[in-house]
Structure 1
Amino acid sequence: MPSHVCGPWQSRTVTTNPSSSARKAQEALGIRLRDLRMDAGLTGRELAAATGWHFTRISKLEHGVQTPTDQDIRTWCAACRAEDQAADLIAQSRAVTSMYMEWRRRTRAGMKQLMLSGVPLYERTKRFRIYELNVVPGLFQTADYARAMLAVWIEFLDAHDDLDAAVAAKMARQSVIYDGTKTFAVLLEEASLRTWSGNADTMLAQLDRLLSVMTLPNISLGILPAMIERQAVGSAGFWIFDETVVALEIPTASIEVTQPQEIGLYARMFEQMSRAAVYGRDARAIIIRVQSEIDGRN
């Protein structure tokens, strides 16, 4: 579950009230619209005259009281001679009401449906870029590791207990990694190898699974060693699907980032962290060392 909320360079306080967060996002959109108007040297009344709207509508949009339609944004940008901003603003507007999807609402019918909900996105994505801080990505999890993790979240969210079906659905999703038309660039913090989900035997088997999947030709698995000098540090795990969406998860919600500019920031963050990671033999050595440490305690 939450493994996939913040901007990539800094930790920001994230409210767990989705309606409050959507409100803040709508206000941020209004500020961007206001800035475009001001950059164009227009007053609110002048913009209203240019668009054919009542001037009070300009105020409502700028203060986040009213959500603009896609056409409203195109009209606004045209009047402000900023047509190049329209696509990004439209993406931001669409994200206002959809970026938070409450886990409790989505898990009422059980975790199986939540596992299945991501399948269409997985199937149409060709390039996956995955960064995790303290868990193994779901696509690489063993059934026992997934079972231990899902059991925790079913209890935490007081969700319908369909653990067996949820694990089966999660395992079925993994078929995408054997599709040679897809590529997977994966970055794991060393902490993700050391954070247990289940018991020692579960972790040993999970690390064996990582050693196996990293041999697949379409998978690049990098490990970010602890205590190294690096240019960037992620504040949350995130998944980039092609160039269309970034998915992040927190304990109470899933967040989808669709603004092209923000997706670009996550891609830049991923690239910077990639340069600090180790691959191939060096990555395998870290995984095997952690296995030895676990085995020594077992």
Structure 2
Amino acid sequence: MSTDFQTARVALGARLRELRTEAGLNGKDLAERLGWQRSKVSRLENGKQTPSREDLEAWAKAVGESAAAEELQGRLQGLETQYRTWRRQLANGHRSRQELAVAETARTRLIRGVEVARIPGLFQTADYARCLFIANAEFRRTPRDTDEAVRARIQRQEALYEAGRSFRFLLWEAALYAQVCPREVMAAQLDRLCGLIGVGTVELGIIPFTAPLQRTPAHGFWIYDDRLVTVETINAELWLDDQENIDLYTRAWDWLNESAVYGHQAHRHIARARAGLALP
């Protein structure tokens, strides 16, 4: 969880505590009014849990400060702008999130990215993407709109062939071996990667297992120009647009890039993974 997000959540919790104490209530009293476990009141006040909009409205009403609900909602919106839960983003399926990615790509000239266990969406074949969307919908128990999501992802890839754009991606070698799909689908995906080497707008680097590292590739992230970083976790996606985080992730990308190989060396690593599938 980002430090900025947690700091803001703690501040929101402190405001909730302030409203409770001003009303002359202790945690037990408030929990009884709300019909909650006392532990929930404690978690919210100490920044250990993110409240829902309904939680904030109920809190304001319970302490006799209904007018404070709007203020609390504003604080929560600030959190959600940066910390976007997958539960909310995928409530209606994957398509809307893919369309957002299409729009974000359209307004960006340079995208730098790191992936450690999968092929970047911009480079995926339709079949590879389909396998990921199906598995993700099953894992998150969200609506399955696989065909629409795949179409949106493939539409996004049109940007790869537009003059004036640049896509610089680093793949930890493990991503070439992670079989998140049938072997024949993975083989076609690796063939696709080989075909992208040499495309004018694309720079594809592979970080070999044996490469010396200044920093381990702990998780994937994408940098859009010098204005936005996105980071996926299991339960949420962080959208970081403050300069400190942008500089931090840019430095992480630069350090990892020093360990990457390109061109014919990258092709050789991809071809080795392809040969390991023992398919035509």
Same fold per TM (> 0.5)? yes
Residue 213 of structure 1 is aligned with which of 196, 200, 221? 196
Q: Does 1:228 align with 2:241?
A: no
More contact order relative to length (CA 8 Å, sep ≥ 6):
1
| Pairwise CA distance, 1:94 | 8.8
Letter in 2 for 1:139: L
The CA deviation string for residues 68-103 of structure 1, in whole angstroms up to 9 with x for no partner, is: xxxxxxxxxxxxxxxxxxxxxxxxx99644211111
Residue 176 of structure 2 is aligned with which of 193, 199, 209? 193
| Pairwise CA distance, 1:164 | 1.1
Q: Residues 106, 180 of structure 1: CA spacing in aligned structure 2 closer, same or farther, 3 A cutoff?
A: same
Q: Residues 156, 258 of structure 1: CA spacing in aligned structure 2 closer, same or farther, 3 A cutoff?
A: same
Aligned to 2:265: 282
- Given the two structures, how large is their TM-score scaled by the length of structure 1? 0.69
Q: Residues 162, 239 of structure 1: CA spacing in aligned structure 2 closer, same or farther, 3 A cutoff?
A: same
Q: Residues 99, 227 of structure 1: CA spacing in aligned structure 2 closer, same or farther, 3 A cutoff?
A: same
> Does the residue aligned with 1:255 lie in a helix, a strand or coil?
strand
Partners of 2:199 and 2:78 lie apart in 1 by 35
> Does the residue aligned with 1:236 lie in a helix, a strand or coil?
coil
Structural mapping, 1:113-128, within 5 Å:
113-128=96-111
Partners of 1:291 and 1:183 lie apart in 2 by 26
Name stretches of at least 5 consecutive residues in structure 1 with no aligned partner.
Answer: 8-20, 30-62, 65-92
Structural mapping, 1:124-139, within 5 Å:
124-139=107-122
Q: Matched residue pairs, number?
A: 220
| Pairwise CA distance, 1:270 | 0.6
| Pairwise CA distance, 1:146 | 0.2
Partners of 2:185 and 2:102 lie apart in 1 by 26
Partners of 1:132 and 1:207 lie apart in 2 by 15
Task: Kindly indicate whether the alpha-carbon contact (under 8 Å) linking 2:102 and 2:155 is maintained by their aligned counterparts in 1.
Answer: no
Runs of 4 or more consecutive aligned structure 1 residues displaced over 2 Å after TM superposition: 21-29, 93-97
Aligned to 1:11: none
The CA deviation string for residues 95-125 of structure 1, in whole angstroms up to 9 with x for no partner, is: 6442111112222222111211222211010
Q: Percent identity?
A: 33
Letter in 1 for 2:164: T
Moved more, 160-169 or 95-104: 95-104
> Does the residue aligned with 1:118 lie in a helix, a strand or coil?
helix
Aligned to 2:30: none
Residue 249 of structure 2 is aligned with which of 266, 273, 280? 266
Q: Residues 204, 212 of structure 1: CA spacing in aligned structure 2 closer, same or farther, 3 A cutoff?
A: same
- Given the two structures, how large is their TM-score scaled by the length of structure 2? 0.73
Name stretches of at least 5 consecutive residues in structure 2 with no aligned partner.
Answer: 13-45, 48-75
The CA deviation string for residues 118-137 of structure 1, in whole angstroms up to 9 with x for no partner, is: 22211010011010001000
The CA deviation string for residues 180-208 of structure 1, in whole angstroms up to 9 with x for no partner, is: 11101110000010001211100100000
- Root-mean-square deviation (CA, aligned residues, Å) is 2.4
Task: Kindly indicate whether the alpha-carbon contact (under 8 Å) linking 1:128 and 1:240 is maintained by their aligned counterparts in 2.
Answer: yes
Partners of 1:271 and 1:144 lie apart in 2 by 31
Aligned to 1:81: none
Partners of 1:167 and 1:110 lie apart in 2 by 12
Letter in 1 for 2:101: G
Task: Kindly indicate whether the alpha-carbon contact (under 8 Å) linking 1:95 and 1:258 is maintained by their aligned counterparts in 2.
Answer: no
Letter in 1 for 2:137: I
Partners of 2:189 and 2:224 lie apart in 1 by 24
